[in-house]
Amino acid sequence: MFSSIFSTSPPVDPKAPNFHPVSSAHGVSDLFGELEPKDTEWTCPGGFAVETQIWYHALDDGTSLMCQVIHSSVGVWYPTIQFTCKIYNPATNERTWKSINVSNFVTPPPGLDKRSSKADQFSITHRSNPGSDTPESYSIRVNLDNDLQISLEVTRPASAPGWKVGKGPKGGFSYFGHDPEHAEGYVVHRFWPMDLATGTIIHKGHAKQVSGPGMFVHAIQGMRPNLVAARWNFAHFVSAELGGCSAIQMEFTTIDAYGRQGAGSGFVTANVGSLVLGGKLAAVTAETKWPDETLPESADVVSRAAHSKTALDAETGYNAPTELVFQWAAPSIIAEAQGPVDATLIIDVGSPDAYKGLVEKVDVLAEIPYVIKTMVNYVAGTKPYIYQWYNPATLQVNVPAGLIPDVSGPASINGTLYNEATFIS
């Protein structure tokens, strides 16, 4: 606050770019940045920032499982750390949702690095096993309450390395403000595009062995969440077919204050994603949609989420999607299977009065801690909602020769899709 009052910096052209998306910062051959150990370490930033680690899994019995640690800083206030868990069984329509504020959060725990963390209610231990088929793993132990305890071993296969868009320490970062070197804020995502969870869930006194593929993301929003984005889309498709496949996308659209011509040129969409085919990370995608340009129907690199059909949801007041289309395209990063890779997924999620596979409509302000809600001070009229769906889905893919044995050209892959559509303003 004081630096802005007493600043002696030279004036900045108000029409200069004040949003610098990661999706425009790297060329076609530079999209894949393999994760380094520091990329998934906890940074626990101060100021107004939210840092999170999330594991999403599609269990073998059809259940969706999400586990998340959230580190929220609000100015000079002491950070709030939450552990949240959501379990959804589409066969029974049973939903289990737990969110607890944890105590005595520590990173790193003794003898470990900052990829691990612990609190009175949980421990998350990262282990490295370089040179093996599973070079990284997380052990997750959490006691959410008397009704729910979870114990998981999550392993990442060597054939699906962790990624960010762009190499080096700045890979993955989108910057807000005129000067990226002294940014007003930032957003960064790092992914494990495919992993395998095995373990036990004890729910209401009943223990169940679980197993299933999934993904992991470590993300930071380094500014107030209502300034980062007006909209978010997230997709996680996973399938056991053809040796294991996944397709993920993370997309956000800026508010009007951040664009390439300063305030008033916003609503810029930045999208990043990846494709795992035959158990191998085959492509990393990233694309920017500027509001004054129309994207071409096809391109060397495509990374897009579209609400292809919408309807007014009277409960939230938003025109929510009833059908979504996700698209990926990029050159293969597999040396022995060169050529373009592309994929499309179309999902019908039903209408607001009869959604298909709706896990939950999350009223964000009802869920976040009171002190954060108060300090963030959302603008009047803003009512953030997250729509969450979990449905059977089919990924249409063009596979380059040499990637999957006996598969080349068009292929249909059946699996499940967990997707979110978030409306903030």
The more confident residue out of 78 and 263 is 263
For residues 381-395, give the mean pLDDT: 91
What pLDDT score was predicted for residue 90?
96
293 is written with which tokens? 């340009």
Interatomic CA distance for residues 176 and 355, integer angstroms: 36
Average pLDDT across the chain, whole number = 93
Question: What digits encode the pLDDT tens for the residues 54-64?
Answer: 999 999 999 99
For residues 319-337, give the mean pLDDT: 97
| pLDDT-derived band at 48, boundaries 50, 70, 90 | confident
What pLDDT score was predicted for residue 374?
47
Strands 163-165 and 173-176: unpaired
Question: What digits encode the pLDDT tens for the residues 175-205?
Answer: 999 999 999 999 999 999 999 999 999 999 9
Interatomic CA distance for residues 306 and 253, integer angstroms: 12
Interatomic CA distance for residues 269 and 19, integer angstroms: 11
Task: Tell me how far apart the terminal alpha carbons of the chain are, to the nearest angstrom.
Answer: 25
What pLDDT score was predicted for residue 5?
37
What is the residue-wise DSSP string for 209-227? EEEEEEEEEEEEE-S-HHH
Q: Using a pLDDT cut of 70, give the percent of the chain over it.
A: 93
What pLDDT score was predicted for residue 65?
98
Top CATH class of 16-423 equals mainly beta
Interatomic CA distance for residues 41 and 112, integer angstroms: 11
Give residue 16's identity as a one-letter amino acid code: A
Residues 6+ apart with CB under 8 A from 125: 109, 112, 116, 138, 139
CB-CB neighbours of 177 under 10 Å = 18
Interatomic CA distance for residues 107 and 268, integer angstroms: 35
Question: What digits encode the pLDDT tens for the residues 259-315?
Answer: 999 999 999 999 999 999 999 999 999 999 999 999 999 999 999 999 999 999 999
Give the range among 40-44, 195-199, 239-243, 383-387 with minimum mean pLDDT.
383-387
Evaluate whether 339 touches 332 at the Cβ level (below 8 Å): yes
Residue 20, pLDDT above cutoff 50? yes
Helix (H/G/I), strand (E/B), else coil: 42: coil
What pLDDT score was predicted for residue 9?
52
| pLDDT-derived band at 4, boundaries 50, 70, 90 | very low
Interatomic CA distance for residues 7 and 5, integer angstroms: 6
Interatomic CA distance for residues 343 and 363, integer angstroms: 32
For tokens 């990329």, name the residue.
Answer: 39
Helix (H/G/I), strand (E/B), else coil: 276: strand
Supply angle C-alpha 205, 148, 42, rounded to 5: 155
Interatomic CA distance for residues 65 and 77, integer angstroms: 31
Distance of CA 402 to the CA centre of its chain: 30
For residues 324-333, give the mean pLDDT: 98
| pLDDT-derived band at 6, boundaries 50, 70, 90 | very low
Evaluate whether 361 touches 316 at the Cβ level (below 8 Å): yes
Interatomic CA distance for residues 416 and 356, integer angstroms: 13
What pLDDT score was predicted for residue 367?
67
Phi, psi of 281 (to 5 degrees): -65, 110
Residue 2, pLDDT above cutoff 70? no
Evaluate whether 114 touches 94 at the Cβ level (below 8 Å): no
For residues 136-154, give the mean pLDDT: 97
